[in-house]
Amino acid sequence: QKEVEQNSGPLSVPEGAIASLNCTYSDRGSQSFFWYRQYSGKSPELIMFIYSNGDKEDGRFTAQLNKASQYVSLLIRDSQPSDSATYLCAVRSGGSYIPTFGRGTSLIVHP
């Protein structure tokens, strides 16, 4: 059973701070890692993907992957109230078409 674990939160951070969202996974064969943002009542939107160990930056978002420790994280710098949403982590094994999703972490950025 492939498992993807996220703290459901909510994670509350002040505006301008760095929000750190974490995700661990059980399948050592996992090769692709995704972060989705989902606003309340809306559909998920892919915001980051990573497949190599280390950091990947895109604007205010940084994804960090550590395959040895089986975790992937998402950092949001200069957090804004508009970043308040649920962030879903998804992991896909090599040779698979199908990602496994975590339950998501709720992020609240307060002014």
Partner 1 sequence: NAGVTQTPKFRILKIGQSMTLQCTQDMNHNYMYWYRQDPGMGLKLIYYSVGAGITDKGEVPNGYNVSRSTTEDFPLRLELAAPSQTSVYFCASSPPPGTSETEQFFGPGTRLTVL
Helix (H) or strand (E) holding 14: strand 11-14
Q: Work out whether 97 is an interface residue with partner 1 (CB under 8 A).
A: yes
Residues 6+ apart with CB under 8 A from 37: 44, 45, 47, 85, 86, 87, 88
Considering only residues 13, 25, 34, 74, which one is a binding residue for partner 1 as defined by CB under 8 A? 34
Q: Work out whether 46 is an interface residue with partner 1 (CB under 8 A).
A: yes
Q: Work out whether 8 is an interface residue with partner 1 (CB under 8 A).
A: yes
The torsion defined by the Cα of 64, 49, 92 and 19, in degrees rounded to 10, comes to 50
Considering only residues 11, 75, 101, 108, which one is a binding residue for partner 1 as defined by CB under 8 A? 101
Considering only residues 88, 91, 107, 109, which one is a binding residue for partner 1 as defined by CB under 8 A? 88
